[in-house]
Amino acid sequence: MITVLVTDDHTIFRRGLSEILDQTPDISVAGEAQDGAEALELLRDRPFDVIVLDIQMPGRGGLEILKEVRRLYPDVAVLILSMHPVDQYAVRAVKAGALGYLTKERTPYELIDAIRTVAAGRRYIDDTLAQELAEEVGEGGGGRPHDRLSDRELRVMLLLARGSTVREIAENLYLSVNTISTYRSRILSKMKLRNSAELAYYAVKEGLLE
């Protein structure tokens, strides 16, 4: 039996996902968490084979939690399940230790197959992600301006591109307004852009807001 921890801040989605998985004979949802902190608490209390992890959550994001899980619980397989397209986070997630990356538009059958695959210690990589990884290797990494950003900077960049204010982002990430303002300045500098409007245009052009 594959024991799974489902982590997502949207209660309806999390419960629906758990019900789907619990109907699968060889999979059991042994825990649910609404954010990364709760997921880490559950991992301390009991063993899991797989953690299905949303990448975009309040506070510490999925990539940060992923790195923490890999450091503290290296035997737990991590499958990222995200609303974001592959070219936004997937390569970063795999490089950080995820065994698979799946978008939420995929079917339940693909999710079940992905869980079985990563539980067996194998990578679950679809054709799109394989292409992204190949391009990353071919370019030597960091080929596009947003590839120069850290994981936290990328998260802030995407929120800015979607029109969130500095204060809104600070509240979402549980950080100070000054810290987010510093991130914004650093992001613009690294990407050689002048303002948030150019940032939004870049994100649309690169297909990062799908």
- Domain boundaries, given as residue ranges, for the chain: 2-138, 145-205
CB 201, CB 193: distance < 8 Å: no
**151-161 vs 166-173: helix axis angle to the nearest 10?**
130
Task: Tell me if residue 46 falls in helix, strand or coil.
Answer: coil
The more confidently predicted of residues 191 and 85 is 191
Least confident of 30-44, 105-119, 140-154: 140-154
Domain 2-138 matches domain 145-205 at the CATH topology level: no
The predicted pLDDT at position 147 comes to 79
Task: Say yes or no to pLDDT of 129 above 70.
Answer: no
**151-161 vs 177-191: helix axis angle to the nearest 10?**
90
Question: Predicted confidence band at 113 (pLDDT cuts at 50, 70, 90)?
Answer: very high
**pLDDT per residue as tens digits for the range 136-189:** 544 554 567 887 888 888 889 888 988 899 999 998 888 889 889 988 988 988
The predicted pLDDT at position 194 comes to 85
Share of the chain above pLDDT 70, in %: 89
The predicted pLDDT at position 2 comes to 95
CB 5, CB 51: distance < 8 Å: yes
CB 9, CB 33: distance < 8 Å: no
pTM: 0.69
Element (H, E) at 103: strand 100-103
- Positive or negative, the CA dihedral 189, 191, 194, 195 is negative
Share of the chain above pLDDT 90, in %: 38
The predicted pLDDT at position 158 comes to 87
Q: What are the tokens at 59?
A: 């506070």
The CATH superfamily assigned to 2-138 is Response regulator (3.40.50.2300)
Fold of 145-205: Arc Repressor Mutant, subunit A (1.10.10)
The predicted pLDDT at position 64 comes to 86
Task: Say yes or no to pLDDT of 118 above 70.
Answer: yes
Strand order in the sheet with 100-103: 27-33, 2-7, 50-53, 77-82, 100-103
CA-to-CA distance for 179 and 158, rounded, in angstroms? 16
Q: What mean pLDDT value characterizes the chain? A: 85
**pLDDT per residue as tens digits for the range 63-95:** 889 989 999 999 999 999 887 766 667 778 888
State the average pLDDT over residues 20-28: 93
The predicted pLDDT at position 12 comes to 92
The predicted pLDDT at position 128 comes to 61
Task: Say yes or no to pLDDT of 3 above 90.
Answer: yes
- Residue/partner pairs of 105-113 with CB below 8 Å, 24 or more apart: 108/20, 111/17, 111/20, 111/21, 111/52, 111/81, 112/20, 112/21, 112/24, 112/27
The predicted pLDDT at position 86 comes to 64
